[in-house]
Every structure is written in C-alpha cells, then in structure tokens.
C-alpha cells in the first residue's frame, strides 16, 4: 500500500519526517541527549504538564503576540537557537533557516560549529542575526570571530558556558560519531547508511558541500571534513574558564551579550555582575549533564532572583506556541527554539521552518485568546491552572 503524504502540522510530525529522511547517525545526533536522556525527556514533559486556565467571554478580537528584544520588534517572543552541524541535516540549512526567520520576523542564531560561515549567512539579507560562541583555548580565534561577527552586522552575542567538558551522548557512541563503534554502529554511520537515503545524499551530501565548520575554517586550514574540525574543537574546550573570562569577553564585545547555560540563581546573578545583558535558562537540551532539573521547573526561581535586571530567555523543551505562552507565564521574556527548527529544515527545508514558525505563532495566538489574554506584556502566572 503506498504511503500517504500527510501535511506536517506539529513538531512531532516534522520529527518523524526528519527521521525518515536522515541517515540514522545524523538523526540520533540531532534527537539524542546525554546518558539515559532523563533531562531530555523531562524538558518537554514539564512544559506539557503545565495546565492553562481557560477564560471565556472576553474581547479577544485583537491579539498581540509581538514583543521587543534587544532593540528589535519581533512577531513573537522567540529566536531560533544555535544548533551545531545543522548544515548536515539539509543543504546549507543555516542559510535556509536565516531566510525563514527573516520572513517570520524573529532572529536566527548561528552556531560556532555551523556548516555555513558567518559571511554566507549574512549574505541572505541585511536583517541582523545572532551569533553563538564558546570560549576556546585559542583566544586569538575567539577575538577574530568576534571581529568577523561585528563586520557582518551581528550585534547580539550568545555565549555558551555549559560546555567546559562534553557530556557523554550514548547514541553518538553507538553510531560511531564518538568513541569506537561496534559492527552495528559502523553500519549505522557508514557509507551504506548514507546511500540508503538518496534524497539526503543528493541534496545535502553532494549539493550541500563543503561539509566544513565554516566559522572555524581560518583556524584549522588543513581540515576538510567535520571529523577533522571536531578533533580540533575537542582540543579547544577549555575547562579553566571562570567568570573572569566572561569579564574579559565583555571588554571585547561592544554589543548585547547573552550568557547561555544558566541553571542556578547564583550563576544568573554572576552573569549579570559580569555585564551580561541577558541570560538563557538552559540545560543544553539535555545534551550535557543528565539528571538535572528541567528548565521549566527552574525558570521561576531564576526569574525571581534576577528581578528584571537582565533579559531572561529559556530553551530546552519548547515544542509549541503553547510552550512559549507557558514560558512567558513563568516569567521569561522569550524563548529559544532548538530541535524543532532542525526537524523542520531536515523535513522540508526553508519552507518547513517558515511553516513551523507560523504554526507556533498561531498556537500562541489561539492559546492567548482562550485564556483571555490579548497582550503578551500582561501574561503572568494567572493564566496557569494550579489546580
């Protein structure tokens, strides 16, 4: 019986289609988390368990989903999160996602370890995007990337601080992306796996070249494959980084500075004391330290601690427009959308990301209307059903 081509509606629809289209090792890299993936599952589950309080007979004819973040008016309080190696999931995926964000009216965040470099993404349009960076041992490379980001119009830097060591991701070990795979792992990550996905092979494997970490090419001149870059990057992870290094970074970067990877109120306050303009409450999507609490459960305490001294964003577990509304109710100024946009770009390219963002906007608008909310600036815990 032929397979029916159904319209993709939810994040789970895009996820299933991405799984169908991607070689197994790439899908598991995108989909997986660290250790037993407890935190990965809790992130989405804890947002899902928050109940909304339905209110009726309110005038909801004029719903306002827009907000302003870092001086830019957005159509919804969201940005796409930085995702490493996204350009291996679809041909030049970072470029396609930037174009989709431009059309949707929200920022795109480019990862340090993207396939497309800063300059290629900037060529999409004059609209600004955000750039995510790690603290590398090679501080000259860090300084140079900051200069390159400024040169292409980036004014918002998202600095990730929860990668002083790399979490153990068992799916990547099994598939051969890290560690020494067994026979099954070699089959799942080897040439036959990629050849079994001809659409990916043509669109991304052939037409999506070069498969390099574009932002790092100047610093690793002899690298030609993602594996070459990964070896260099692993050697650059600096476990000695402290808040003093963030103070140094603040001196180097004149634009907006967001510290990503905060899970503790004291760390949130330390980030602000170092000059951060914003924080992201994040556990790296459950990819670093497993068995930590979900971001939804920690968000209210951190929001209370920082007392509006900085912009507070949240990621890890955002799977719908309703989750955006719940995050706002818990006190966040906005969210970062991670895995969902990569599922969408893997499934349908730029069109998929654009449709996903429209779905999120629609879900947010409908949920606001049915909770009697007309303006995001007025949303708080009163829209949650604590019963």
C-alpha of 375 from chain center: 25
**Residue labelled with tokens 């594996």:** 227
Residue of 101, 103, 112, 51 whose CA lies nearest to 79: 101
Provide φ and ψ at 113, rounded to 5°. Answer: -100, 40
**Residue 133 DSSP SS3:** strand
**Residue 130 DSSP SS3:** strand
CB 278 within 8 A of CB 302: no
Strand partners, 72: 69
CB 68 within 8 A of CB 74: yes
**Residue 142 DSSP SS3:** helix
Q: Quick one: three-class SS letters along 51-86?
A: CECCCCCCCCCCCECCEEECCEEECCCEEECCCCCH
**Residue 105 DSSP SS3:** coil
**Which residues have CB under 8 Å from 304's CB, separation 6+?**
265, 331
Residue of 134, 128, 132 whose CA lies nearest to 158: 132
**211 included as an active-site residue:** no
DSSP 3: P
The Cα 277–Cα 154 span in angstroms is 15
Residue of 282, 366, 329 whose CA lies nearest to 79: 282
Active site residues: 284
């Amino acid at each position: 019986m032929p397979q029916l081509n159904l319209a993709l509606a939810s994040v789970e629809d895009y996820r299933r289609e991405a799984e169908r289209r991607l070689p197994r090792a790439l899908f598991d890299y995108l989909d997986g988390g660290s250790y037993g993936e407890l935190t990965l599952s809790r992130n989405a589950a804890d947002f899902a368990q928050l109940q909304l309080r339905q209110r009726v007979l309110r005038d909801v004819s004029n719903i306002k989903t827009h907000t302003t973040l870092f001086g830019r008016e957005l159509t919804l309080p969201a940005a796409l999160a930085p995702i490493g190696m996204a350009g291996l999931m679809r041909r030049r995926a970072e470029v396609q996602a930037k174009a989709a964000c431009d059309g949707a009216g929200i920022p795109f965040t480019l990862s340090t370890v993207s396939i497309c470099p800063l300059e290629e993404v900037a060529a999409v349009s004059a609209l600004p995007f955000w750039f995510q960076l790690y603290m590398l041992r090679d501080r000259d490379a860090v300084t140079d990337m900051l200069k390159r980001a400024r040169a292409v119009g980036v004014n918002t830097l998202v600095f990730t601080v929860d990668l002083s060591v790399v979490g153990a991701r068992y799916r990547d070990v099994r598939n051969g992306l890290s560690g020494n795979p067994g026979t099954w792992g070699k089959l799942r990550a080897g040439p036959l796996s990629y050849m079994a996905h001809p659409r990916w092979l043509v669109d991304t494997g052939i037409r999506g070249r070069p498969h390099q970490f574009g932002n790092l090419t100047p610093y690793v001149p002899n690298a030609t494959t993602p594996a070459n870059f990964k070896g260099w990057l692993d050697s650059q992870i600096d476990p000695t980084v402290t808040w003093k290094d963030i103070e140094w970074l603040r001196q180097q970067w004149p634009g907006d500075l967001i510290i990503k990877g905060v899970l503790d109120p004291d760390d949130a306050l330390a980030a602000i004391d170092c000059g951060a303009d914003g924080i992201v409450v994040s556990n790296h999507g459950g990819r670093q330290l497993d068995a930590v609490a979900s971001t939804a459960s920690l968000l209210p305490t951190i929001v209370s601690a920082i007392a509006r001294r900085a912009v507070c964003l949240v990621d890890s577990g955002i799977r719908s427009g309703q989750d955006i509304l719940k995050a706002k109710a818990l006190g966040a100024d906005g969210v970062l959308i991670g895995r969902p946009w990569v599922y969408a770009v893997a499934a349908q390219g730029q069109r998929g990301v654009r449709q996903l963002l429209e779905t999120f906007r629609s879900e947010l608008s409908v949920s606001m209307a049915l909770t009697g909310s007309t303006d995001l600036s007025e949303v708080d815990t009163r829209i949650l059903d604590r019963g």
